[in-house]
Chain A
């Protein structure tokens, strides 16, 4: 792998808080190594801003290895940037070349208000989980783990859905700001497993109700969410969600 250095122009969204209006600001960073991660490039920018007495750019991040779901930059019109199946923190500078201009914005959705600059409030996702994204089993209730054999294909499919990191890129990518891919990942994870069966109907109904309350938009099947999802959560989960919802609605009038 050939390494190189580059100079870049950054157009970054700055917004003091959710009370104020934001705007783009231009910055230049120099001598960026192709081996750096995208966030390390932002570290360089922030160090520069701190020494010149400017306010550094606020952005969310923690694990920097693609698993916590905290990082959330909308880069050149795409959540998490140009690479497939990738988070912002895993994007590396070899994706860019000398002289590039990179536009960086926060997730934009009514349900995700901006806190500052590139940081948004995604607590709506937690409230959706509170509405039913769990199995009601208290500590100590469990039987032996192997007393419940689960078909491997089903277990694998449940795992594939459970890989969702709750980043919200699907919402940011969607022109309607729909949270259906996120929702469907959780509903599928639990619907595919026998443990999820007892609460199957109430779960999907309550979670959808909460999603609507949070102000996420409707799903019009454009598939932008799947294309941008860092964990490749499949659209087929949305189909399953719809089926679950329909099934649940039919039996819901208890």
Chain B
């Protein structure tokens, strides 16, 4: 019943064959077909722009005041592509292989190979749009390396890659708005999927400024609504990032896949106190040049600069000599937690490790001296030259660090700690990116498809843009070709009536609780439960407790939350309340999923399943499947398993040593 629709044939031919044989919609019919795109981050903006260019009538939605502000804007480090411009042995196969291995053998071969194939076109498209990627002196594109790989395949624009890619997609989108092919609804939130005869036929959205509910028809609905990392309250996600759209789809019948596969990023600025509202990432690209260490002595209170070289433990280089500081994220995060739990953490909270650029500054300084033939220069000058190079590469990240902590990372080592960053889980989709609800699609971080149990750095931007620019334009046509006879429905249709009533009932219920506790306080408590018991390390007992705690929290929320203001007005607290209510339900499912998966893989580390030296212990015999959860009723889900078949790669224990 879970049909992934992976085309038959050899792995490297699947996508080409699909494109050669999928159904097409002729231009005159495209003009009659309406497509709803919810979310205008990288996935949604690229999809909406491309579909508009193709001639579909597109309606796009986002909750920010402009599509240019989607969470994708914050991506720092870069985007992968198998261009092999560096001639260092990269290829489509190697990108495919690295992604499957990085995902700890929990992703589909067919999807991932397609992703690697289209990755090269993404770079071309973005360059053509005027995305100002970093370049070498010869005028050609520059690359750097990211965790979990041994080649340089990451394209970047200083530490603002997501911003530049999103602005490119946003401009393409605005061009379609100007041409009348896309209608943009900013400050709108999708709150329900409308289904007619089992097919997605529209949405109910709320105009966040006036609070009015609106009905929108579409022959297909695309959810490009991002990840659910904010279930943890503290994460590197933007404040507004939420699971609501995906959760409404789940409630309308779409399966939610691998919810417990969440990614904890190793290099974030540590929590400074209870007031903390979000965490800030320090891009993984910093691990190209920064060395991670803790003192060899427990509870060492000296300043980083006062600790001599021989008293430092470069624990990643020690444990993983082959990959060193560039091990994948899950491995690096757990190693940091291990050191801090063992009492070697630094800073006031002792929940931090050092990320040190002193060696890189010296190395680059000396490099400049020889490159520019400077001859005899003083140590200070070398340091200055080195700082200049580091500034060009990572300047904005260093500035960001200084603004938040008040410390100058050119002078003292950065303090970092892991934080929630990305969610591999999401709506279950088939090869065509369609959920199990016909006509309902999920793209970008909102789906589960390509990263298995752990995502490699610089691969989310790649996936979002692959889905939007190069996959959905084909796969959507394959569905819509059979829908050309379906007339646009009047939104007075009973299905819309009913869906709108559901939304307004829920909003009324929320507003009428008139309890004592703020939305924020519930969100914080939820986050703490999930972080403590379903975070970097999980175990059976903790998860069972967490499930009970989340259920109790849900009850308390629905009887004691206080939402100020009115329904028909601009009311951010009400928006947030709806999102937190959905996060609570998701939190329960995450714990159930984590409890069911009796193995450790990627971001999912079950303490009961580890090797003697603390590495994750996968169980391919029993858990080589995607968990797709179907909602059956309150607190009730049914598990559907999609077996993963590896035809080309032979799964082995991940080894970064």
A residues at B contact (CB < 8 Å): 1, 16-17, 33, 35-37, 39-40, 43-44, 47, 49-51, 53-56, 58, 60-70, 83, 85-86, 90, 92, 94, 115-116, 119, 121-123, 125-126, 129-131, 133-146, 148-152, 155-156, 158-159, 162-163, 165-166, 189-190, 193, 195-196
Contact = CB atoms under 8 A, between A and B. Distances in A.
A158 B124 CA distance: 18
Most buried by B among A47, A50, A151: A50
B74 A63 contact: yes
Nearest to A194: B130
Interface in B230-273: 238-240, 272-273
Contacts of A94: 406
A142 B121 contact: yes
Interface stretch (B28-36, B441-449, B569-577): B569-577
A55 B67 CA distance: 28
B125 A142 contact: yes
Give the secondary structure class of A's interface.
loop
Given A63-B74, A130-B174, A189-B132, 20 more contacts: A35-B272, A35-B273, A51-B518, A55-B565, A62-B240, A63-B238, A66-B400, A90-B404, A121-B65, A126-B66, A126-B67, A126-B177, A126-B186, A134-B174, A152-B139, A155-B139, A158-B130, A159-B164, A166-B66, A190-B130
Interface string B458-482: 0000000000011001000000000
B644 interface: no
Contacts of A33: 273, 275
Contacts of A43: 275, 277, 520
Interface residues of B, number: 83
Interface stretch (B155-163, B589-597, B613-621, B631-639): B155-163
Interface string B406-420: 110000000000000
A162 B167 contact: yes
B133 to A, nearest CB: 8
B564 interface: yes
Interface in B181-237: 184, 186, 209
A143 B50 CA distance: 17
A68 B226 CA distance: 15
Nearest to A128: B174
A133 B493 CA distance: 39
27 contacts: A16-B569, A37-B404, A39-B277, A40-B275, A43-B277, A50-B562, A62-B240, A64-B278, A65-B74, A65-B278, A67-B74, A94-B406, A116-B570, A119-B570, A126-B66, A126-B177, A126-B186, A135-B128, A135-B129, A136-B175, A137-B125, A139-B50, A139-B53, A145-B133, A146-B141, A149-B139, A158-B130
A166 B399 CA distance: 20
Given A37-B277, A135-B129, A62 B50 contact: no
A67 B171 contact: no
Interface of B: 46, 49-50, 53, 64-71, 73-74, 83, 85, 121, 123-130, 132-141, 157-158, 160, 163-164, 167, 170-172, 174-175, 177-178, 184, 186, 209, 238-240, 272-273, 275-278, 280-281, 399-400, 403-407, 469-470, 473, 516, 518, 520-521, 562, 564-565, 569-570, 572-573
Nearest to B469: A139
Contact of A90 (B132, B157, B403): B403
Given A50-B573, A86-B403, A123 B139 contact: no
Contacts of B121: 140, 142
Given A50-B562, A55-B564, A162-B132, A139 B73 contact: no
